[in-house]
Structure 1
């Protein structure tokens, strides 16, 4: 039996006027139709904080800096792969207020909302 593979993800909590930025997954992609925080996969050798800032820029066009780590979560792949997912969630601050510009390949909408009002995965709700 092989060793369980590990995948590292990072997500960012961007807040404006008391509301949190959430992105809506496009049809045809993994977890289509779900709301999530901006974020994604940490590249090999990339520091988690660098990956978090990069992912926000790629997915939203926003420039942010890390304010602190909000939490860490680990779970087994929901698709049944022998894969352990490690996610870190960071609080970030925008360098300047800009319009959100989505990467059309992954997300089809965004909202600034109270997390309690959306159907979210446990690691986003926490």
Structure 2
């Protein structure tokens, strides 16, 4: 399972641009990563966002639905509030953007992330 974070702060959603693998590079996603053995999804989200972005978050609620990424990997997304840190693209990303609801379509989202992004934007309105 892959856990994604719809990080919300000040009426904005954090988007991360992939730097790898080549077929995903340049596309935008909700940051996150793989669930490790023994972790809850919420623990995985906190760990992944600390590793990838250097921030501390508090998971809030799971966005309904799950999306097939590739065989054996399903994406589930949680909303999260930024608690501490200034997000930096430390791993797997080369750019970050905070997007308001009116800006959300300015980036080329990965198709699997789009339904969760739409739901997160509904929560911001």
| TM-score normalised according to structure 2 size | 0.78
Unaligned runs of 5+ in 2: 116-125
Count of residues in correspondence between the two structures: 112
1:76 CA drift (Å): 5.8
Maintained 8 Å contact 1:53/1:64: yes
Q: Is 1:101–2:91 an aligned residue pair?
A: no
Unaligned runs of 5+ in 1: 1-7, 78-82
Q: Deviations over 1:25-49 (max 9, x none)?
A: 1155551111111101111222111
Alignment map for 1:45-64 (pairs within 5 Å)? 45-64=38-57
User: Are residues 92 and 76 of structure 1, via their aligned partners in 2, closer, same or farther at CA, if it must alter by over 3 Å?
Assistant: closer
Q: Is 1:124–2:110 an aligned residue pair?
A: no
User: Are residues 60 and 125 of structure 1, via their aligned partners in 2, closer, same or farther at CA, if it must alter by over 3 Å?
Assistant: same
Maintained 8 Å contact 1:115/1:125: no
Q: Deviations over 1:56-85 (max 9, x none)?
A: 1111111011111113313262xxxxx232
Structure with bigger gyration radius:
1
Maintained 8 Å contact 2:68/2:112: no
Whichever structure has more helix as a proportion of its residues is 2
- Work out the CA distance in 2 between the residues paired with 1:35 and 1:76: 14
- Let me know the Cα RMSD of the aligned residues: 1.9
| TM-score normalised according to structure 1 size | 0.78
